[in-house]
Each structure stands twice: as structure tokens, then as C-alpha cells.
Amino acid sequence: MSLIDLLPPVVRPWAIALVLLAIAAGAAGGAWTVQDWRYGQALAEQGQKAAEKATAEAQSATARAEEVTAALVVEQAKRVALEGRLKVNDETHHKELSDAKNTQQRLSDRLATADVRLSVLLATGPGRAGGDELSAAASAGGVVHGGTRAELDPAHAQRIIGITGDGDRGLIALAACQAYIREVSR
């Protein structure tokens, strides 16, 4: 006798359906558990790969940031060195300009007090005698050799000194600009 024979004939189809349903539910539950285990393992592997990739990218970004920082430090050191050289050049040219102004001022003061007189050499024309004779009026302070000289008016001498002073300042400024361009373009 089998287990099914013990059940009344009216309940037998229901009992068979219930047993089949229990077997199907058990199989579905087992399959669900196996799928959960497999997908869980795949998700864990993906998570581990993503974490490794993120770690590698973070290390790469850190390395790039360190390289950029090192390059910035080098460039900043170059900039500081350039600023130092430019400051030295500026001080040098400022001193040259100041010295030129002082020299011009002293010469201008000496011209104003008649301590020094500017003179020009006169050209010997065709109607004059030879230009190689000695000056007739030599002062007690020295002997003047050469051609005849004419003293300039003090106002004109001041203007000439002003013009040459402007030229000196212009040349010093030009030298400063050229030195700046050389330093910056290096």
C-alpha cells in the first residue's frame, strides 16, 4: 500500500497538487538562494574591482598633483630668482641714473658759478692764417695748445648740458629696458 492509497479519492488530486506545489516552491527557493549567492559574489567582485580602480585613479591623481606641485615649486623658484636679478639690475640702473643726474647737476652748478666755461674750437676759414699757431692768450692755469676757441654763453652752455643730460638719462633707461628684456626672455 502506498501513501496515496491512504487518502480518500476526493482529496487525492489536491494532495498531489499540494505535494507538487511544495516541490516547486522548494526548487524555486533553492534556485533563488543559488542565484542570490552567484549574483552576490559577482557584485562583490565588481565592487572590489571598482574599489581597486578608484584606488589606482586616486594614486594616479595624487602622483599628477605631486608632479604639478613640484613643477610649480620650480617655477616659483625661477620667478623669485628672476625677481632678484631684476631688482639688482634696477638698483644698478637707478644708481647709474642717479650718478648721471648728480654729474650733470655739478657741471651745471659749475657753469652757473663761472667756475667752468664751455668753449668750442673755431674752424679756420680760407681768409685766416694757418690754424696751427699757438694761442696768444694762455691763462696762468694752463697752456692751451691747438686752434682758437670761443667760449659759449652760460645760458647756451646750460641748455647743452641739459640736452646731454637728457641723452644720458635716455641711454641709461634704454640700457635698463634692454637688460630687463634679456632677463625676462631667458
Condensed to tens digits (0 to 9), the pLDDT of residues 95-125 reads: 988 998 898 888 888 777 766 677 777 776 5
Residue 139 has pLDDT above 70, yes or no: no
Flag the least confident range among 44-58, 119-133, 153-167. Answer: 119-133
Give the mean model confidence (pLDDT) for residues 139-162: 71
Q: Which of 118, 116, 111, 119 is nearest to 147 (CA)?
A: 119
Q: Looking only at Cα atoms, what is the longest distance across the chain?
A: 169
CA distances (Å), 59 to each of 45, 46, 47, 65, 67, in order?
Answer: 21, 20, 18, 10, 12
Residue 66 covered by a domain: yes
Q: Is residue 67 part of a domain?
A: yes
Instruction: Decide if 1 is inside a domain.
Output: no
Range(s) of the domain holding residue 108: 12-129+143-185
Distance (Å, rounded) from C-alpha 73 to C-alpha 79?
Answer: 10
Nearest to 107 by CA among 165, 172, 166, 169: 165
Mean per-residue pLDDT of the chain: 83
Name beta bridge partners: 119: 151
Contact 129, 89 (CB under 8 A): no
Q: For residues 152 and 162, what is the distance between their CA atoms, to the nearest angstrom?
A: 15
Determine, yes or no, domain membership for 2: no
For residue 4, is it within any domain?
no
Per-residue pLDDT at 59: 95
Residues 6+ apart with CB under 8 A from 44: none
In a domain, 119, yes or no: yes
| Residue 63 placed within a domain | yes
Measured CA to CA in angstroms, residue 160 lies from 96, 154, 166 at distances of 20, 10, 10
On whether residue 68 sits in a domain, the answer given is yes
| Number of domains the chain contains | 1
Q: Helices 154-185 and 12-112 sit at what angle, rounded to 10 degrees?
A: 160
pLDDT tens column, 3-31: 777 878 888 888 889 999 999 999 999 99
